[in-house]
């Protein structure tokens, strides 16, 4: 009887918590809300309003940083999201170092955005933090910011990025794969462009998209405060560490500039750059948009 009562209490608690998650401020950390130890940048992509008085549906699609390390308690809490698919945008090496730790039934799909790129991934850049003097020589004086902006342009132009994002968005247009999450290492760069591109296609205003992107600073920088301070104390330029672990408007603006320069509009980027035609784009809108309550 005690066991049954305990199970019933857990189920009631989970139902109440799941309901609370649907009422979080758009862009708020789900990782913090459900008490996960390692995924502070886990967020629902839903809740944002479009310029046509529609709202992005909650509880279908999430963005995140890496799911490692995850305790058994973390994995149990993650089941609240009822995830079916985990889209991992990292490199093979990144996955080897930190494989995702997910509930058993979640299908893991690896989409290597940077397979064809020369840009260093976040994990490689982080390695330089152990040698502040070398980091200053290689990345200091604004060189890292230039490097990062070029990397964001490659999210649009790189063949492997186009293949990865094509597969991601086409897969997200299949309801049988939902709810789903997509992520990279810190959940801000490769993940940031994926979220920004989809929200823009759905009609979310640019400033709202930018605000969602910038919230990565809120959820990531506190976790890396000690690392940033140690790097600066060792003689490293503080701005280097902040650039590696945080985001700036100009990074995402570089990706949008590349998209507009090459394709003109977000719709053309999806159709001509990713091979996702108008009908498939409309399927994404039908799945992820609903009438806004205030429009009724």
CB distance 212 to 28 below 8 Å: no
3 state DSSP class of 108: strand
3 state DSSP class of 54: strand
* Count of other CB atoms within 10 angstroms of residue 126: 17
Domains of the chain: which residue ranges?
Answer: 2-295
The yes-or-no verdict on residue 10 having pLDDT over 60 is: no
Per the model's pLDDT, the better-predicted residue between 105 and 2 turns out to be: 105
Class of domain 2-295: alpha beta
Helical ranges in 26-97 per DSSP H? 30-33, 72-78, 92-97
CB distance 62 to 30 below 8 Å: yes
- SS3 annotation, the chain: CHHHHHHHHHHHHHHHHHHHHCCCCCCCEHHHHCCCCCCCCCEECCCCECCCCEEECCCCEEEECCCCCCCHHHHHHHHHHCCCEEEECCCHHHHHHCCCCCCCCCEEEECCCCCCCCCCCHHHHHHHHHCHHHHHHHHCCCHHHHHHHHHHHHHHHCHHHHHHHHHHHHHHCCHHHCCEEEECCCCCCHHHHHHHHHHHHCCCCHHHHHHHHHCHHHHHHHHHHHHHHHHHHCCCCHHHHHHHHCCCHHHHHHHHHHHHHHHCCHHHHHHHHCCCCHHHHHHHHHHHEEECHHHC
* pTM, rounded to two decimals: 0.92
- Interval 136-149 mean pLDDT: 93
The pLDDT value given to residue 20:
64
* Tokens 């709810």, residue located: 179
The pLDDT value given to residue 125:
75
**What b-and-e string marks burial along 216-226, b requiring 16 or more CB atoms within 10 Å of the CB?**
bbebbeeebee
Give the model's confidence band at 127: pLDDT under 50 very low, under 70 low, under 90 confident, else very high: confident
CB distance 213 to 252 below 8 Å: yes
Residue 66 tokens read as: 């890496």
The pLDDT value given to residue 128:
81
Q: Per residue in 233-244, pLDDT tens?
A: 999 999 999 999
Q: Per residue in 143-184, pLDDT tens?
A: 999 999 999 999 999 999 999 999 999 999 999 999 999 999
* Tokens 């139902």, residue located: 15
Q: Per residue in 190-228, pLDDT tens?
A: 999 999 999 999 999 999 999 999 999 999 999 999 999
């Amino acid at each position: 009887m005690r066991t049954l009562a305990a199970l019933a209490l857990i189920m009631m608690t989970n139902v109440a918590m799941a309901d609370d998650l649907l009422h979080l401020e758009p862009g708020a950390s789900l990782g913090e809300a459900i008490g996960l130890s390692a995924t502070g940048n886990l967020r629902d992509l839903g809740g944002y309003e479009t310029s046509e008085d529609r709202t992005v549906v909650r509880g279908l699609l999430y963005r995140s940083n890496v799911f490692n390390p995850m305790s058994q308690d973390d994995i149990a809490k993650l089941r609240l999201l009822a995830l079916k698919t985990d889209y991992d945008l990292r490199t093979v090496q990144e996955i080897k170092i930190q494989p995702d730790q997910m509930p058993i039934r979640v299908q893991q799909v690896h989409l290597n955005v940077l397979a064809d790129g020369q840009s260093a991934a976040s994990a490689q850049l982080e390695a330089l933090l152990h040698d502040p003097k070398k980091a200053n020589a290689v990345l200091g004086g604004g060189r890292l910011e230039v490097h990062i902006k070029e990397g964001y342009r490659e999210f649009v132009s790189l063949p492997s990025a186009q293949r990865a994002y094509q597969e991601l968005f086409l897969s997200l247009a299949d309801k049988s794969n939902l709810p789903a999450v997509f992520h990279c290492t810190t959940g801000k760069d490769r993940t940031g462009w994926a979220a920004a591109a989809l929200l823009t296609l759905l009609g979310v205003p640019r400033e709202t998209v930018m605000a969602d992107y910038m919230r990565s600073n809120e959820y990531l920088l506190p976790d890396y405060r000690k690392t940033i301070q140690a790097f600066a104390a060792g003689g490293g330029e503080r701005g280097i560490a902040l650039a590696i672990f945080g985001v700036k408007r100009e990074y995402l603006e570089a990706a949008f500039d590349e998209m507009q320069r090459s394709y003109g509009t977000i719709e053309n980027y999806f159709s001509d750059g990713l091979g996702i035609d108008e009908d498939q784009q409309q399927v994404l809108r039908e799945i992820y948009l609903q009438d806004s309550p205030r429009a009724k």
